[in-house]
Amino acid sequence: MAGSSGGSSDGRKTARIEIIPLIDVIFFLLATFVLFTLSLNKSEGLPVALPSSETGEPRDPANSVTITVTQEGTLAWNKDPVTLDEFQARLQQYRVEPNPKVLINGDENAMFSQAIYVFDEVRKAGISKVLIETKVSPPGSNS
Protein backbone atom coordinates (compact mmCIF):
# COMPACT_ATOMS: atom_id res chain seq x y z
CA MET A 1 0.00 0.00 0.00
CA ALA A 2 1.76 3.09 -1.23
CA GLY A 3 1.74 6.23 0.91
CA SER A 4 0.89 4.56 4.22
CA SER A 5 2.36 6.19 7.28
CA GLY A 6 3.89 3.15 8.90
CA GLY A 7 2.67 -0.19 9.95
CA SER A 8 2.76 -3.55 8.28
CA SER A 9 1.82 -4.39 4.70
CA ASP A 10 -1.68 -5.53 5.69
CA GLY A 11 -2.70 -2.09 7.10
CA ARG A 12 -2.21 -2.66 10.82
CA LYS A 13 -0.04 -0.30 12.85
CA THR A 14 2.82 -1.76 14.87
CA ALA A 15 3.76 -0.62 18.34
CA ARG A 16 6.93 1.44 18.69
CA ILE A 17 8.85 2.18 21.85
CA GLU A 18 9.92 5.81 21.99
CA ILE A 19 13.33 5.87 23.66
CA ILE A 20 13.87 9.67 23.88
CA PRO A 21 11.15 10.33 26.52
CA LEU A 22 12.43 7.34 28.49
CA ILE A 23 15.94 8.80 28.54
CA ASP A 24 14.53 12.16 29.69
CA VAL A 25 12.75 10.52 32.61
CA ILE A 26 15.84 8.56 33.63
CA PHE A 27 18.02 11.72 33.58
CA PHE A 28 15.43 13.56 35.66
CA LEU A 29 15.40 10.77 38.25
CA LEU A 30 19.20 10.68 38.30
CA ALA A 31 19.47 14.45 38.83
CA THR A 32 16.85 14.33 41.60
CA PHE A 33 18.71 11.51 43.35
CA VAL A 34 22.05 13.34 43.14
CA LEU A 35 20.61 16.59 44.53
CA PHE A 36 18.85 14.74 47.33
CA THR A 37 21.98 12.86 48.41
CA LEU A 38 24.05 16.06 48.36
CA SER A 39 21.59 17.71 50.72
CA LEU A 40 21.98 14.85 53.23
CA ASN A 41 25.53 15.90 54.16
CA LYS A 42 24.51 19.20 55.66
CA SER A 43 24.44 19.80 59.37
CA GLU A 44 21.17 19.14 61.12
CA GLY A 45 21.31 22.27 63.26
CA LEU A 46 19.33 25.46 62.99
CA PRO A 47 20.65 27.99 60.49
CA VAL A 48 22.94 30.31 62.46
CA ALA A 49 25.84 32.61 61.60
CA LEU A 50 28.81 30.42 62.47
CA PRO A 51 32.02 32.12 63.60
CA SER A 52 34.96 31.96 61.18
CA SER A 53 38.12 29.97 61.79
CA GLU A 54 41.24 29.68 59.65
CA THR A 55 42.18 26.30 61.13
CA GLY A 56 38.69 24.80 61.08
CA GLU A 57 37.87 21.74 59.03
CA PRO A 58 34.56 20.78 57.44
CA ARG A 59 32.67 18.41 59.74
CA ASP A 60 30.81 15.30 58.61
CA PRO A 61 27.40 15.34 60.32
CA ALA A 62 26.78 11.67 59.57
CA ASN A 63 25.93 9.58 62.64
CA SER A 64 25.95 12.60 64.93
CA VAL A 65 23.63 14.94 66.76
CA THR A 66 23.83 18.69 66.20
CA ILE A 67 23.20 20.94 69.19
CA THR A 68 22.66 24.58 68.27
CA VAL A 69 23.10 27.58 70.55
CA THR A 70 21.17 30.52 69.07
CA GLN A 71 21.94 34.21 69.45
CA GLU A 72 19.14 34.45 72.03
CA GLY A 73 20.72 31.65 74.10
CA THR A 74 18.14 28.97 73.31
CA LEU A 75 19.10 25.40 72.47
CA ALA A 76 18.05 23.15 69.60
CA TRP A 77 18.56 19.42 69.14
CA ASN A 78 18.74 18.72 65.39
CA LYS A 79 16.58 21.75 64.47
CA ASP A 80 14.13 20.94 67.28
CA PRO A 81 14.07 23.70 69.95
CA VAL A 82 14.45 22.19 73.43
CA THR A 83 14.43 23.39 77.02
CA LEU A 84 17.35 22.70 79.33
CA ASP A 85 15.50 19.77 80.92
CA GLU A 86 14.67 18.26 77.51
CA PHE A 87 18.29 18.77 76.42
CA GLN A 88 19.62 16.85 79.42
CA ALA A 89 17.06 14.07 78.99
CA ARG A 90 17.86 13.63 75.29
CA LEU A 91 21.56 13.69 76.07
CA GLN A 92 21.14 10.85 78.58
CA GLN A 93 19.20 8.83 75.99
CA TYR A 94 21.72 9.55 73.23
CA ARG A 95 24.80 8.57 75.24
CA VAL A 96 23.86 4.87 75.10
CA GLU A 97 24.16 4.89 71.29
CA PRO A 98 27.27 3.16 69.91
CA ASN A 99 29.95 5.78 69.21
CA PRO A 100 27.92 8.88 70.06
CA LYS A 101 29.18 12.05 68.38
CA VAL A 102 27.97 15.59 69.06
CA LEU A 103 28.43 18.65 66.85
CA ILE A 104 27.98 21.96 68.64
CA ASN A 105 27.24 24.92 66.44
CA GLY A 106 26.35 28.34 67.62
CA ASP A 107 25.69 31.81 66.37
CA GLU A 108 28.78 34.01 66.41
CA ASN A 109 26.86 36.43 68.65
CA ALA A 110 25.70 33.76 71.11
CA MET A 111 26.83 33.95 74.71
CA PHE A 112 30.03 32.01 75.25
CA SER A 113 28.81 30.76 78.63
CA GLN A 114 25.86 28.97 76.98
CA ALA A 115 28.19 27.13 74.59
CA ILE A 116 30.43 26.11 77.49
CA TYR A 117 27.36 24.82 79.37
CA VAL A 118 26.44 22.61 76.40
CA PHE A 119 30.03 21.38 76.08
CA ASP A 120 30.20 20.55 79.81
CA GLU A 121 26.87 18.68 79.80
CA VAL A 122 27.92 16.59 76.79
CA ARG A 123 31.22 15.69 78.45
CA LYS A 124 29.47 14.92 81.78
CA ALA A 125 27.21 12.50 79.88
CA GLY A 126 30.34 10.56 78.92
CA ILE A 127 30.43 11.53 75.25
CA SER A 128 34.03 12.18 74.25
CA LYS A 129 33.52 12.95 70.56
CA VAL A 130 32.52 16.60 70.74
CA LEU A 131 33.17 18.88 67.75
CA ILE A 132 32.66 22.61 67.40
CA GLU A 133 31.36 23.74 64.01
CA THR A 134 32.83 26.86 62.47
CA LYS A 135 32.75 28.51 59.09
CA VAL A 136 36.02 27.61 57.36
CA SER A 137 37.67 30.74 56.01
CA PRO A 138 40.82 30.84 53.91
CA PRO A 139 44.01 31.82 55.73
CA GLY A 140 44.61 35.56 55.82
CA SER A 141 40.99 36.60 55.35
CA ASN A 142 39.37 38.81 58.00
CA SER A 143 35.76 37.60 57.67
Say whether pTM exceeds 0.85. no
Q: Is residue 35 part of a domain?
A: no
Q: Is residue 88 part of a domain?
A: yes
Q: Which residues of 111-137 are buried (b: 16+ CB within 10 A; e: fewer)?
A: eeebbebbbebbeebebeebbbbbeee
In 3-state terms, what secondary structure has residue 50? coil
Q: What would the mean pLDDT of 29-36 be, rounded to a whole number?
A: 87
**63-89 pLDDT, tens per residue?**
788 888 888 878 888 888 888 888 888
Is residue 36 within a helix (H) or strand (E), and if so which, with residue range?
helix 19-39
Q: Is residue 1 part of a domain?
A: no
Beta-sheet strand order (sheet of 101-106): 80-82, 75-77, 65-69, 101-106, 129-132
- What would the DSSP string read from start to end of 101-113? EEEEEE-TTS-HH
- Domain count across the chain: 1
**49-61 pLDDT, tens per residue?**
555 555 556 666 6
Q: Is residue 121 part of a domain?
A: yes
Q: Is residue 12 part of a domain?
A: no
Q: In terms of residue numbers, what domain contains 85?
A: 52-136
In 3-state terms, what secondary structure has residue 84? helix
Look up the CATH number of the domain holding residue 94. Answer: 3.30.420.270
Rounded CA separation 77/70 (Å): 11
Q: Is residue 14 part of a domain?
A: no
Q: Is residue 125 part of a domain?
A: yes
Q: Which of 105, 95, 106, 84 has the alpha carbon at shortest distance from 128? A: 95
For residue 1, is pLDDT > 50?
no
For residue 26, is pLDDT > 90?
yes
Q: Is residue 89 part of a domain?
A: yes
